[in-house]
């Protein structure tokens, strides 16, 4: 399986930043890596998340970007995909999305597929993000943070993923402005404890505050590299 599904405990938790940093890490290590935004809302004709991935990777646009395969569903209203689509009187074409991801994955060693929001975000009236990702058997990379409130969302996300039969490749513990260091350290400990309890690999990579020039972060544990 060369497609990793990158979800988070919430919208705005740092999935795009984490995907950009992970893609950059893999790219610099000579892996053929590309990113895909499953469904982009809040844009017209382009995906801001995808553009940010490319900028962080330090590469231009791929042929697959030009072909529209890496942002196969874009809706203008910045909301949950099911609602953004309904508001435009459009449907979310899941078959087209599946086909795009499959086509892209044939040409690359690794695909990082960024979801919208968290695992329980509806893609359609009847299908949640986690349903889609679990059906495809994608390993999950979960982005969370040390801010107060994350622990609840993180343990719920892990439980939901595991109940749907998903396997975690790892957790990205993202920098969070103003997080209390004592709380953050204990939350980190509890997340590792619950990964163990749910028989998932105890892999957690901390991502600091990022700005250009981007610091090198070692995501090796998530991708089984040292």
Ligand X SMILES: Nc1ncnc2c1ncn2[C@@H]1O[C@H](COP(=O)(O)OP(=O)(O)OP(=O)(O)O)[C@@H](O)[C@H]1O
Ligand Y SMILES: C[C@H](N)[C@H](N)CCCCCC(=O)O
Active site residues: 37
- Which of the 8 DSSP states describes residue 6? E
174 binds, among Mg ion, ligand Y, ligand X, none (CB under 5 to 8 A by kind): ligand X
Are 218 and 21 a contacting pair, CB within 8 Å? no
Nearer to ligand Y by Cβ, of 78 and 208: the residue is 78
41 binds, among ligand X, Mg ion, ligand Y, none (CB under 5 to 8 A by kind): ligand Y
- Which of the 8 DSSP states describes residue 128? B
Q: Which phi and psi (to 5°) does residue 108 adopt?
A: -135, 155
49 binds Mg ion (CB under 5 A): yes
What mask, x for binding ligand Y by CB under 6 A, covers residues 145 to 184? ----------------------------------------
Smallest gap, in angstroms, from Cβ of residue 154 to ligand Y? 15
- # residues near ligand X by CB under 6 A: 16
Is 118 annotated to bind ligand? no
What mask, x for binding ligand Y by CB under 6 A, covers residues 104 to 133? ------------xxx--x------------
Is 13 annotated to bind ligand? yes
What mask, x for binding ligand Y by CB under 6 A, covers residues 24 to 63? -----------------xx---------------------
Read out DSSP for 154-222? HHHHHHHHHHTT--EEEEEEE--TT--HHHHHHHHHHHHHHHHHTT----EEEE----SSPPP---TTT
First to last CA, the chain: 19
The phi-psi region of residue 199 (left if phi > 0; otherwise alpha if psi is between -120 and 50; otherwise beta) is left
Give the pair of three-digit tokens for residue 148. 């107060």
Are 156 and 80 a contacting pair, CB within 8 Å? no
Is 149 annotated to bind ligand? no
* CA atoms lying within 13 Å on the CB side of residue 67: 12
198 binds ligand X (CB under 6 A): no
Nearer to Mg ion by Cβ, of 15 and 54: the residue is 15
78 binds, among Mg ion, ligand Y, ligand X, none (CB under 5 to 8 A by kind): ligand Y
Nearer to Mg ion by Cβ, of 15 and 188: the residue is 15
Are 82 and 45 a contacting pair, CB within 8 Å? no
Is 146 annotated to bind ligand? no
């Amino acid at each position: 399986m060369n497609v990793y599904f990158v979800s988070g405990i919430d919208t705005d938790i740092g999935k795009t930043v984490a995907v950009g940093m992970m893609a950059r890490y893999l790219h610099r290590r000579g892996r053929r890596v590309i990113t895909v935004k499953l469904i982009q809302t809040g844009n017209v004709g382009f995906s801001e998340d995808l553009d940010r991935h490319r900028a962080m990777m330090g590469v231009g646009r791929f042929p697959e970007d030009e072909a529209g395969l890496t942002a196969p569903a874009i809706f203008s209203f910045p909301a949950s995909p099911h609602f953004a689509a309904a508001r435009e009187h459009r449907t979310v074409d899941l078959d087209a999305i599946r086909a795009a991801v499959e086509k892209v994955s044939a040409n690359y060693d690794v695909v990082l597929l960024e979801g919208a929001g968290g695992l329980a975000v509806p893609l359609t009236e009847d299908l949640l993000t986690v349903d889609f990702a679990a059906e495809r058997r994608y390993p999950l990379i979960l982005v969370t943070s040390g801010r107060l409130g994350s622990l609840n969302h993180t343990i719920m996300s892990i439980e939901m993923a595991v109940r749907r039969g998903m396997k975690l490749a790892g957790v990205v513990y993202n920098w969070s402005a103003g997080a209390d260091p004592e709380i953050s350290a204990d939350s980190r400990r509890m997340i590792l404890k619950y990964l163990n309890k749910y028989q998932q690999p105890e892999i957690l990579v901390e991502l600091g505050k990022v700005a250009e020039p981007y610091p090198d972060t070692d995501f090796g544990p998530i991708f089984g590299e040292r």
